[in-house]
Structure 1
Amino acid sequence: MIKPKRLNQGDTVGVIAPASPPDLKNLDKGLSFLESLGLKVKLGVHVKKKHGYLAGNDEERMEDFHQMFQDSEVAAIFCAGGGYGTGRILSTIDYATVKANPKIFWGYSDITSLHTAIRQETGLVTFHGPMLCSDVGKEDFDEESKKMFQQLFQPEVVHYDERLSPLEVIGEGEASGEVVGGNLSLLVNTMGTPYEIDTKGKLLFIEDVGEQPYRLDSFFNQLKLAGKLEDAAGIILGDFSGTETEKTKETLSLAQVYEDYFSRLKKPVLAGFKIGHCLPHYSIPFGTDAVLSSHKKSLMIQPGVY
């Protein structure tokens, strides 16, 4: 495990768009938020480019990624937004450069592919948190979500219990391990590749948005058949907004799907964490040690910076 150094006011942070083109108006608001934290902002050269549904071609997005890790003035890297595209650059990343220049890396959703690849190839702790364009730059971005950026300035344990949101116990027990995971569909997309997630002895976090129960069922089933659910020490179920639609009249509820896949695992499985495509959006580090307890209905994650 490699923890990145904490931020200090006056530090310079980099912004890249490794997936889809960001909404520039929202991005400007997100940059203003970073500046309000006392940070200086450096934009990637290609952040404002468009190549169809991508923020520049693969080479341009990769160039920004590498440049920010190589730049000794940049203390942290924030992703402008998600969408689609990070999976296309996984095989061309210079992971030795990332490992030699450890720094805070922040994002979620499509950034899941980068979280997994970076951690498994380098050991660097990364952060699952709201993005500048698609979250921070919107009018409804809330104070609770803003507060979570403070964990980058001071090492602090993330303590999630029912004071933050109601939690449902699906599997009983208590387990410890590194928190790994991210967006469910992105995790499934990397199955059978060199960047397939390793869940053995880990606390697997998963979330998704806008997927109907039958689609989530298929994703969970693939993780099950691949042994990822059995290998995990525990399961953390984040936000799954937009799942209960009327597009299919004959359906199972999300609760029934949870029951089918998680109730007989004989390990702690808790649902209801406001982590994902939701507000508030509680940010967490990936790759640090944590404890998940059904008895306490809590998740305790060690700091992601030093």
Structure 2
Amino acid sequence: MNPAPPVTSTGRPAKGNDIEDGSDQPKATGTAAPLARVDFGMDSLSRRRFLRGTALAGAALSFPAAAATPTASAAGLAPIRPARLREGDTVALVAPAGVLRSRGTVDEARETIESLGLRTVVGENVLDRHGYLAGRDEDRAADLMAAFTDDAIAGIVAIRGGWGCARLLPFLDWRTIRANPKAVIGYSDVTSLLLALYARTGLVGFHGPVATSTFTDFTLDSFRPVVFSGEPVELGPDSDEGGMTVIRHGTARGRLVGGNLTVLAAMVGTPYLPSFEGHILFLEDIGESVYRIDRMLTQLGQAGLLGGLAGFVMGSCRGCTPEQDAIASFELVDVIRQHIEPLGIPAVMGAPFGHVSDKWTVPVGSMAELRTETGALHLVEAPVV
């Protein structure tokens, strides 16, 4: 998940957005001066108001000792399902990772989310610039905390990915978040935020479209039932993005954990990665050579994270191909089989989520059942209440 232009010097596509959103990468380099408070002609979240009312005011000056608090699984915290979204609810649009190109990106995000029947407020710092980040770590964290602590806000949607969510994790107040659970939605680099929320608070989050994604009919057919309905949902494979490949047949049941493989692998050894024991692991990526996928799965395996899995689902991995000048290589399916088949668990690859136009919204921490004979992921309990 490198903070690079849409196509890197090696020809690999950049991560952070949908395949049609790759242009939302900054052209500017270096550290730009933060923009003044943005007036969008609507309510925006006030960092100052939040800092006056919470303990983050003192914590924002230095990194807290993140390792001092165990993960939710270690502490025995039960998963928390956020309240479902309803038409007319207000959601906060935040930029927890990469810098936004312009005010137009925010306007596009607002228009997209409001077309779903929701109202929007915008984080105070979304148009800040700090190199390739959308502002300083503590300011991006403050926008998130302001959204969590504002009773008028029902959910939080990332405007884009890129890189940077992992940097703001030490600035978040986990006890406050657990006391104010809300639906957090995004994917790609937002993986680190979703996994940390699950690990440190038990909060179920949603690996789904960002606010600048294209909400196709297929995407909406997943997003609305998962986030709005408050009912069990079945995520089916009916998508034009391609079919699934069964690695090992069977039915698996467990809570869902995962997201972008590159981001997840970089979290190994931190206090923000939840336990994988008894979970169904779902992974996606973009633009990584097959040997890099191999390397990251090897890391997960040698870190002891794969042995206790209940099931495995590989999503989109667009551009994950052998090196063009390689003398010999494996195909992606070969590497997946090498790592997953020995586990003896039900597993599929090619599921519709990740950096594709048609995508599932996958709830991190929700109880699910993987059925390889149909390629369906059945959410056996509603991920929202």
**8 A contact 2:321–2:331 mirrored in 1:** yes
Cα distance in structure 1, aligned partners of 2:313 and 2:347? 6
1:235 corresponds to which residue?
312
1:149 is matched with which residue: 208, 223, 237?
A: 223
1:117 corresponds to which residue?
196
Cα distance in structure 2, aligned partners of 1:21 and 1:163? 34
Listed one character per residue, the Cα deviations across residues 135-162 of structure 1 (whole Å, up to 9, x for unaligned) are: 23xxxx5222233331222123332344
Q: How does 1:183-198 map to 2 (within 5 A)?
A: 183-198=260-275
| Residue 209 of structure 2 is aligned to residue 130 of structure 1 | yes
1:182 corresponds to which residue?
259
Q: Number of residues paired by the alignment?
A: 301
Secondary structure of the equivalent of 1:181? strand
Secondary structure of the equivalent of 1:14? strand
Q: Deviation of residue 261 (structure 1)? A: 0.9
Secondary structure of the equivalent of 1:27? helix
| Residue 235 of structure 2 is aligned to residue 160 of structure 1 | yes
Higher Cα radius of gyration? 2
1:286 is matched with which residue: 352, 364, 374?
A: 364
Secondary structure of the equivalent of 2:163? coil
Cα distance in structure 1, aligned partners of 2:145 and 2:273? 22
1:91 corresponds to which residue?
170
| Residue 230 of structure 2 is aligned to residue 172 of structure 1 | no
Cα distance in structure 2, aligned partners of 1:90 and 1:264? 34
Q: Kindly tell me: are residues 86 and 253 of structure 1, through their superposed partners in 2, closer, same or farther at Cα, counting changes over 3 Å?
A: same
Q: TM-score, normalising length from structure 2?
A: 0.75
Q: Deviation of residue 298 (structure 1)? A: 2.4
**8 A contact 1:191–1:197 mirrored in 2:** no
Aligned-pair identity (%): 38
CA RMSD, Structure 1 to Structure 2 (Å): 1.6
Listed one character per residue, the Cα deviations across residues 157-190 of structure 1 (whole Å, up to 9, x for unaligned) are: 3323443452211123222110011010111111
Q: Kindly tell me: are residues 294 and 153 of structure 1, through their superposed partners in 2, closer, same or farther at Cα, counting changes over 3 Å?
A: closer
**8 A contact 1:171–1:264 mirrored in 2:** no
| Residue 223 of structure 2 is aligned to residue 223 of structure 1 | no
Residue type of the alignment partner of 1:208: D
- Unpaired runs of 5+ residues, structure 1, are none
Residue type of the alignment partner of 1:2: I
Q: Deviation of residue 21 (structure 1)? A: 1.1
2:285 is matched with which residue: 194, 205, 208?
A: 208
More strand by share: 1
Q: TM-score, normalising length from structure 1?
A: 0.94
- Unpaired runs of 5+ residues, structure 2, are 1-78
**8 A contact 2:196–2:272 mirrored in 1:** yes
